Chain A
Amino acid sequence: MYRETDIIQSADQSPEGYMIINVGPQHPATHGVLHLVITLNGETIKKVEPHLGYIHRSIEKMCESLSYRQFIYVTSRMDYLSAHINNHACALCVEKGLQVEIPERAKVIRVLMDELTRIASHELWWGAMAMDLGAFTPFFHAFRERETINDIMEETCGARLTMNYMVPGGVMHDIHPNFQRRVKEFIQLYKSKIHEYDELVTGNIIFQNRMKGVGILSAEDAISYGCTGPVARGSGVSSDIRKVQPYEIYDKLQFDEVLETGCDSFARYLIRIKEMNQSIRIVEQLIDNIPEGDFQAKTKAVLKLPKGEFYTRVETARGELGVYIVSEGGTTPYRIKFRSPGFSNLSVLDKIARGGKIGDLIAMMGTLDLVIPDIDR
C-alpha cells in the first residue's frame, strides 16, 4: 500500500528478511484510524512509523471562524473521552482573556465533572487495554462502571459523550437534582467493584509477564519527547498540571500525584489504576460541599477578547492539554493552537517499540492510551 515513504526505500536496501506490515487505518488494534507502518524481522519490530491525518477535521482552522462561545463545542470532538476537560481548558483560556472571575459553585461543578470524566476515560482505557492483550471480559466489567458515569452526565449535561457543558463564565446549566445522590451511588458501586480489576487483570501472571519490562521509556526520553500525563508519570516525571500549575480549586484539594518509577508498560498501567482512586478521593471531598450560588458568571452576549495571546493548560485523562489563543480584538480568534497530549505520547511509540515483538507493540500502544481524533484534530 505505502510505497513512497523513506522507510520503504530504506527497507529495500536493508538486509533480507525484512517485512513491512500496515497496521491500520482499519485494524482492530488501533482503536481508530491510526496507520502504523511496521518494519519487521520475523516477529521482531525494527521500526514503527505512524501515519496521521485519516481523521483530520482541521478543528483549529474551523475555530478561527467561530465565536468564543461557539468554538468550545468543536473541541468536544478532539479527545472525545475527555470532552469535559477539553471544554474546560477552552473556557479557562477565554475567561483568562476576558478576566472574568467565575462563581465558586461553577468551579466545584467543573472539577467534579473533570474528575468523573477522568474516571470514565480510565475505565474505558482499562477495558480496551485488556482487549489489546486478548482478554475480552474486562471490557464489559469496565463498561458497567463507565455507563453509570455516562448516565450521570446525561442527566446533567444532556449528552453522554460530547457534553459541551462548560461555557465561558461557568457551566451551562445547574446540576440535576439527582446529581449528588447518583454520584454517591457511583462511588459505592466503584468501591465495591474495584477489587475485581485487580483480580481479573492486574494480578494475572500472564498479564504481568506481558507488561513488566516491555516498552521501557526512560525519564530523559519522556521529557525530550514531550510526554505528559500517565505516560510521563510512569517514568517518574512529575507532570500533573493539577499539582504543577493548579487551576480552579485543585490547590485546595487533598490528592496525590501518582508517580511510578518502573518506566515500563506495567508502571503506566498502575498509574491509571491509582489515578482513578485519586479521582474518587477528589469527588468524595467535593460532592457534599458544592457551595450555593450562581453556576455562571454574568458575561456579555457577544464575547470579545482583548488583543493579545492567551495560553492555559489543564490535565486531561491523557496528559497536558494546552490551548493557545491569539486574539486581534475581534469576536473570533485570529489563531488557535491546541497542544494535545496524544500527539506527543504517540511520538515515543517508535522509540519504545523497537526490538519488541508485534504483541508488545499492541500492548505498548494500549498503555499510551491514544485517542486518534485527539492526535489528528
Chain B
Amino acid sequence: MPSFYEIADQLHSWLNANFNPTWVLIIEMVLAGVAVIGLFAVLGLVLVIMERKVSAWMQIRLGPNRVGPKGMLQSLADTVKLIVKEGMTPSGADKFLFNLAPYIAMIVAMLLLAPIAFAGNFQLWDINVGVLYVSAISSLSVISVLMAGWASNNKCSLLGAMRSGAQIVSYELTAGLSVLAIVVLAGDLKISAIVASQSDGWWIFKGHIPAIIAFVTFIIAVTAETNRAPFDLAEAESELTAGFHTEYSGMKFALFFLAEYVNVFIVCALGATLFLGGPMPLHIGNWEGFNHAMDYVPSSLWFFGKTFFLIFLIMWFRWTFPRLRIDQLLNLEWKYLLPISMINLLIVTAMAILKWHF
C-alpha cells in the first residue's frame, strides 16, 4: 500500500525530471495551496455532518437523512445554499473591516494546516519551531473575532467579541503551558521530531501523571480557545443572539463557520500529535506480535483516528454541558487551570532533567 510520503516523493522526482527547479517550486507551491484549500473545504463539510450526526445520536433523533445516502451530502447542499445567498452588509458597519474579518479567520485556519503531520513523513512544512508556530498563528484568530464584532456596529456582536477576546487571550496561556510540557519531554519544537520521539510509546503513557494532567488541561484550554461549548460565550445564542457573527450572512458567515470547524480539527490534530503520538502506531512494551500487527495499520489512519477521537470528545462536551458564565470562565482559567499547568510544567521539567520518564 503506497503511503502519502511515497506518493509525494514520486511526484517530486517526476517534476524534477521534467521541469527546471524554479518551476518545480512554483508548481509544488500551487499544488500545496490547492491541497490546503481542498482540505479546508472537505474538513468543514465532514465535521459539520459529523457534528450533526453526533448531536442527533445524543438527542435521540436521526439527524439529517434526506440528501444523499443517510444524509451525508446535507452539508454540501447547505454550502451551495450559503454560496448563492446574498451576503448582507449592515448600513452602519465599517464595510472594509466587516468584509475582511471572515477572510482573516479563514486564512488563520489555513496557515495552521501547514505544520500538521498527516501521516508519517508527510507534512506541508516541517518548520523547526513548529509548536511555537501553531501557538503564534492560532492567537491571530482573536483578531478576526474582534474585528467582526467591532465592525458589525451591533451591541450583541461587540459584547460577544469582547468576551471572546478575554477568553482566547486567557486560555492561550494554559494551552501553551500544556504544550510546553511535551516540548520539554521531547526536547524539540519540531513537529516531526516530537512525533519521532514517540516511536517507542506515546507521551501520555511515557510521561506518567503529569502528562495526563497536561493532556486534560490542554483539552479544556483548546475547547475554550476554539469557542466551543461549554465555553461558547462569544456566540452564546441564548444571550447574544449569535455573538460576533450576528450580522453575517451567506458565504461570509460560512467562512466563520468553516474556520471554527477547521480550528477544532487543528487543535485536535495537535493534541493527537503531542500526546497520542500522531501518526505513530500503538506499541505496548515487549509485545512483539502486537506491535508488529499495529505497524501494518497505515500511519494516516492512526493520525485521523486519534484526531477524530478527540474531535468526538469535544463534540460530546458541546452536547452535554451547559455554558459557563463569563466570570466563572475567567476564574476557571486564572485561579485553577493556569496555576495547575504552571506547577505541572515544573514537575515535568524536573522529570525530564532527572530522566524519570520512560
Contact residues of A with B, CB < 8 Å? Answer: 19, 21, 27-29, 43, 130-137, 139-141, 144, 200-201, 204, 206-207, 209-210, 357-362
* A43 CB contact (under 8 Å) in B159, B320, B324: B159
Q: A21-B155, A43-B327 are in contact. List 10 more A-B contacts (CB 8 A).
A: A130-B322, A131-B238, A134-B229, A137-B58, A141-B60, A200-B320, A206-B230, A207-B322, A210-B322, A210-B328
Q: Is B232 an interface residue (CB 8 A)?
A: yes
Closest B residue by C-beta to A128: B238
Interface residues on B, range: 20 to 34
With A134-B323, A200-B320 as known contacts, state yes or no: A359 contacts B156, CB within 8 Å.
Answer: no
Instruction: Looking at the assembled complex, report how far the CB atom of A358 sits from the nearest CB atom of chain B, in whole angstroms.
Output: 5
Q: How far, in whole Å, are A357 and B233 apart by their CA atoms in the complex? A: 12
* B59 CB contact (under 8 Å) in A140, A207, A362: A140
Contact present for B230 and A134 (CB under 8 Å): yes
**Residue of A133, A201, A207 most packed against chain B (CB within 10 A):** A133
Instruction: For B312, list chain A residues within 8 Å (CB).
Output: none
Instruction: For B322, list chain A residues within 8 Å (CB).
Output: 130, 133-135, 201, 204, 206-207, 210
Q: Is B237 an interface residue (CB 8 A)?
A: yes
Q: How far, in whole Å, are A130 and B321 apart by their CA atoms in the complex? A: 9
Instruction: Looking at the assembled complex, report how far the CB atom of B57 sits from the nearest CB atom of chain A, in whole angstroms.
Output: 10
- The main secondary structure of chain B at its interface with chain A is helix
Contact present for B325 and A357 (CB under 8 Å): yes
Contact residues of B with A, CB < 8 Å? Answer: 55, 58-61, 155-156, 159, 163, 229-230, 232-233, 236-241, 319-328
Closest B residue by C-beta to A26: B241
* B326 CB contact (under 8 Å) in A43, A131, A137: A43
Instruction: For A200, list chain B residues within 8 Å (CB).
Output: 320
Instruction: Looking at the assembled complex, report how far the CB atom of A185 sits from the nearest CB atom of chain B, in whole angstroms.
Output: 18
* A21 CB contact (under 8 Å) in B55, B59, B156, B323: B156
Instruction: Looking at the assembled complex, report how far the CB atom of A2 sits from the nearest CB atom of chain B, in whole angstroms.
Output: 13
18 interchain pairs, CB-CB under 8 A: A43-B163, A43-B327, A133-B322, A134-B229, A134-B238, A134-B323, A136-B319, A140-B59, A140-B61, A201-B322, A206-B322, A206-B324, A209-B325, A210-B322, A210-B325, A210-B328, A357-B326, A359-B236
Q: How far, in whole Å, are A5 and B220 apart by their CA atoms in the complex? A: 44
Instruction: Looking at the assembled complex, report how far the CB atom of B190 sits from the nearest CB atom of chain A, in whole angstroms.
Output: 38
Instruction: For B241, list chain A residues within 8 Å (CB).
Output: 27-28
Instruction: For A134, list chain B residues within 8 Å (CB).
Output: 229-230, 232, 236-238, 321-323
With A19-B155, A358-B239 as known contacts, state yes or no: A136 contacts B325, CB within 8 Å.
Answer: no
Q: How far, in whole Å, are A216 and B155 apart by their CA atoms in the complex? A: 28
Contact present for A359 and B323 (CB under 8 Å): yes
Shortest beta-carbon contacts, A-B, top 9:
A134-B323, A133-B322, A140-B59, A135-B322, A359-B325, A29-B238, A132-B238, A207-B322, A358-B239
Contact present for B328 and A209 (CB under 8 Å): yes
Contact present for B324 and A135 (CB under 8 Å): no
